[in-house]
């Protein structure tokens, strides 16, 4: 099922570090629009998915200077949550809540009026078995890709699926944050520093060896 | 290897090497700021770096050419490190980027020192490919030995995470 929506999100689930299975978990999708992520979470087995949104575009926090035509156009795209309702009717699911108003969103998030919502903490509270599924080694490999893209994908996977979620999980615990910061930086410097200093030291040889051999005819 | 065309860029390659090395000091700070929901420092860092490049990098490039560009990049990196150190000091009470640098760079410094000593002993002799490769091998060997010697607990902890066995955290 495809709704007009706002963005085409269909390529994103494969790129984001969402757990493959969410069985037994309760999920909250804030700003659900047509409910793409809500239905995706449900498809992954979440026991309960709560989708919330503000249906009236005038109730959104628009950047200063936003053009009224833009506000109206995006509001029409949302069509009062019609896309969500359509998908909900087609896909079923008894645990889903319908989009709420702004007050309902505040109550749901436990946020006082004018206050800030709770910080997003990916993977916080998952048990160790579930965390293990996030290890980059378990990521599906793209056999058709080149070696360099596989390596960068792997590095990207390590950062997005392991390091950054780990940092987010301890974002409120400064002592753990400090420890991970210092250690991860020292690990990175173990290769970056010798590489950089080596490049600085051997740059003249990197350039000059060929020019010397070209001039003398001798290998250098 | 690269050829004569690159001869004038030697200083630039060296500067890139130095920037890559020094720029990694606390490079992952952005992830920590984002995780804390405080992204203003990243914007400040971007603006300061751009301002320094415009104020120093562009004039130096116009005046000195490639060496000036290299100096401009180094100035920009230095400014970025200053901002980074400032905000990290606010995030982690008592943190000092200089002290962190001394500890983090310790394993990487013996190798360049050894190479510079070897070159001083060579006394400006003709540098053939054999000598360069020998120096490179020495550089890598000293780096590995120094890293294992000085960062053994951290390496062991990291390897433990990769193996997924029982973990024994090293001191931060």
For chain A positions 53-112, those within 8 Å of chain B (CB to CB) are none
Report, as an integer, the average pLDDT of B47-65: 92
What is the reported pLDDT for B39? 86
What is the reported pLDDT for A156? 59
Domain boundaries along the sequence of chain A: 26-118, 137-216
Smallest CA-to-CA distance from B36 within B78, B71, B88, B80 is with: B88
Confidence check: pLDDT of B42 > 70: yes
Give the Å distances, CA to CA, from B132 to A209, A220, B118: 9, 9, 11
What is the reported pLDDT for A205? 84
Contact A155/B at CB under 8 A: no
Asked if B151 and A203 come within 8 Å (Cβ–Cβ), the reply is: no
Residue with tokens 């590995």: B144
Contact A113/B at CB under 8 A: no
Q: List pLDDT tens digits, range A61-70.
A: 777 667 777 7
Q: Is A180 exposed, middle or buried (0-12, 13-18, 19+ CB in 10 A)?
A: buried
Residues whose CB is less than 8 angstroms from the CB of residue B78 and which lie 6 or more positions away in sequence, other chains included: none
Rounded CA Rg of chain A: 25
Q: List pLDDT tens digits, range B133-149.
A: 999 999 999 999 999 99
Mean pLDDT score across all residues of chain B: 86
Residues whose CB is less than 8 angstroms from the CB of residue A199 and which lie 6 or more positions away in sequence, other chains included: A206, B13, B14, B16, B17, B20
What is the reported pLDDT for B148? 93
- The CA distance from B92 to B97, in Å, is 11
Asked if A178 and B136 come within 8 Å (Cβ–Cβ), the reply is: no
On whether ipTM exceeds 0.85, the answer is: no
Confidence check: pLDDT of B50 > 70: yes
What is the reported pLDDT for B43? 93
What is the reported pLDDT for B28? 84
Confidence check: pLDDT of B94 > 50: yes
3-state class (DSSP) for residue A161? helix
Q: Any long-range contacts for A115-119 (C-beta under 8 Å, 24+ apart)?
A: A117/A30, A119/A168, A119/A171, A119/A172, A119/B36, A119/B37
Per-residue pLDDT 10s for chain A (220 aa) are 787 777 788 888 887 878 888 888 888 888 888 888 888 888 888 887 888 777 777 777 777 667 777 778 877 777 777 788 788 778 765 444 544 455 555 555 555 444 433 333 333 332 333 333 333 333 344 444 455 455 555 665 666 566 777 777 777 788 888 888 888 888 888 888 899 899 888 888 887 754 444 433 333 3
Provide the number of CB pairs (under 8 Å) joining chain A to chain B: 166
């Amino acid at each position: 099922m495809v709704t007009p929506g706002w963005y085409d999100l269909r390529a994103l689930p494969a790129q984001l570090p969402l757990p493959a299975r969410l069985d037994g978990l309760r999920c909250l999708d804030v700003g659900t629009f047509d409910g793409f992520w809500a239905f995706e979470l449900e498809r992954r087995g979440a026991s309960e998915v709560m989708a919330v949104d503000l249906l009236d575009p005038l109730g959104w926090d628009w950047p200063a200077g936003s053009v009224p035509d833009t506000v109206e156009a995006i509001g029409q795209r949302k069509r009062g949550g019609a896309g969500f309702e359509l998908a909900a009717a087609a896909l079923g699911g008894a645990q889903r809540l319908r989009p709420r108003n702004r007050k309902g969103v505040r109550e749901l998030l436990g946020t006082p009026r004018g206050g800030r919502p709770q910080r997003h903490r990916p993977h916080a509270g998952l048990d160790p078995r579930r965390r293990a599924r996030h290890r980059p080694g378990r990521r599906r490999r793209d056999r058709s890709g080149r070696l360099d893209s596989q390596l960068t994908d792997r590095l990207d996977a390590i950062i997005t699926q392991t390091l950054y979620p780990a940092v987010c999980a301890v974002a409120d615990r400064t002592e753990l944050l400090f420890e991970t910061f210092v250690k991860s930086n020292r690990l990175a410097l173990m290769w970056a520093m010798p590489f950089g200093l080596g490049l600085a030291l051997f740059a003249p040889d990197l350039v000059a060896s060929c020019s010397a051999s070209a001039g003398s005819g001798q290998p250098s | 290897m690269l050829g004569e065309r690159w001869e004038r860029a030697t200083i630039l390659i060296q500067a890139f090497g130095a920037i890559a090395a020094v720029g990694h000091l606390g490079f992952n700070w952005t992830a920590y700021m984002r995780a804390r929901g405080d992204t203003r420092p990243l914007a400040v860092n971007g603006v300061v770096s751009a301002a320094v490049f415009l104020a120093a990098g562009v004039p130096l490039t116009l005046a000195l050419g490639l060496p000036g560009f290299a100096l401009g990049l180094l100035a920009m990196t230095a400014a970025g490190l200053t901002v980074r150190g400032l905000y990290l000091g606010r995030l982690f009470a008592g943190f000092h980027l200089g002290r962190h640098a001394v500890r983090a760079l310790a394993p990487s410094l013996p190798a360049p020192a050894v190479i510079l000593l070897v070159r001083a002993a060579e006394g400006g002799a003709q540098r053939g490919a054999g000598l360069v490769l020998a120096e490179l091998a020495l550089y890598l060997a000293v780096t590995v030995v120094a890293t294992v010697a000085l960062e053994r607990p951290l390496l062991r902890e990291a390897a433990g995470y990769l193996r997924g066995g029982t973990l024994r955290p090293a001191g931060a």
